[in-house]
Amino acid sequence: MIVQDQRKIVTVADPAELAKTAADRLMARIAANDGRVAICLTGGSSPKQLYALLATDAYNKRIPFDRVHWFIGDERFVPPGDSRNNMAMARGIFLDRFAPACNIHPIPTGAANPDESAEHYARELNAFYGLERLDPARPLFDVVLMGVGPDGHTASIFPDYPALAETERWVVGVPHAHVAPLVPRVTLTLPALASCREMLFEVAGSDKRAILTRVLDGENLPAARATSIGETIWLVDAAALPEAFRGR
Ligand code: 6PG
């Protein structure tokens, strides 16, 4: 493990080991909390292998589904049945088979527009948390899963977009995406995502090496600014690992 600023970089061989390491970290966080657990999932392709692993007997039998709640860090503003919908992807791979419907908390994309959808989700998060202000002594989530896009975005917080500067609201609408799919988005903000015991990035493949190099060099990119008030872990496979970190 390489410790860099507040981040810990955990290197693994390949996407299979990455998914297993992420699943084991998730299980450890669930095991560490004997009350109500809150997991914030992510979209994109990076977490698919992890979600598939959570659907296997080796994992799903050990998850206390009755007391684990599943949220999503960002959503494409498309109907729940659309193949681009992030929560639909997680539901299809594992949630719908194991989690009680009342423990699955999708971003409601049936609202009139992304801002209204963001307000609804913020209210749902406020109600779940029991407060409208985040208390650093009581993280909102046990785990927040994250990915990084080719432009350095994370969740749907794009470089130089207003969402990046948000310090008060927990959820905001994003009228235009910076990368495909070019549909409006709804995203949790950096302070809401930071309110967790562990923020866990999954980064795999040589396509990610260039952007990861920029993020770890400390460029002012959303993914570089996303850190947890607890632990911030970057799980990186060999193909994505920047040159400067090889052999460390
Ligand atoms: C989304 C995601 C987004 C994603 C990155 C990485 O809605 O697209 O939540 O932030 O994590 O774009 O995407 P990949 O995993 O597909 O590379």
Angstrom distance (rounded) from CA 164 to CA 114: 16
CB distance 42 to ligand 1 below 6 Å: yes
pLDDT at 3 over 90: no
Decide if 248 is inside a domain. Answer: no
Residue 46 domain flag: yes
- Range list of H helices, 32-130: 48-54, 57-60, 86-90, 96-98, 114-129
Domains in the chain, number:
1
Q: pLDDT band for position 241 (50/70/90)?
A: very high
Q: Is residue 246 part of a domain?
A: no
CA–CA separation, 42 vs 30, rounded Å?
17
CATH number at 19 reads: 3.40.50.1360
Counting from 1 in the atom list of ligand 1, the atom nearest the Cα of 155 is 10
Asked, for residue 118, whether it belongs to a domain, the answer is yes
The answer, yes or no, to whether any atom of ligand 1 lies below 6 A from the CB of 15, is no
Q: Is residue 203 part of a domain?
A: yes
Ligand 1: which atom is nearest the Cα of residue 185? 7
User: pLDDT tens digit string along 98-135?
Assistant: 999 999 999 999 999 999 999 999 999 999 999 999 99
Backbone angles phi and psi of 97, in degrees to 5: -85, -25
CA of 31 to the centre of ligand 1 (A): 27
Domain residue limits at 148: 2-241
Q: Is 86 in the pocket of ligand 1 (CB under 6 A)?
A: yes
Q: Is residue 134 part of a domain?
A: yes
Give me the pLDDT at residue 248, please: 72
Contact between 15 and 204 (Cβ < 8 Å): yes
Domain contains 32: yes
Residue 23 lies in a domain: yes
| C-beta 230 within 6 A of ligand 1 | no
Interval between CA 34 and ligand 1 midpoint (Å): 30
Q: Is 46 close to ligand 1, i.e. is its CB under 6 Å away? A: yes
What's the pLDDT score for residue 152? 98
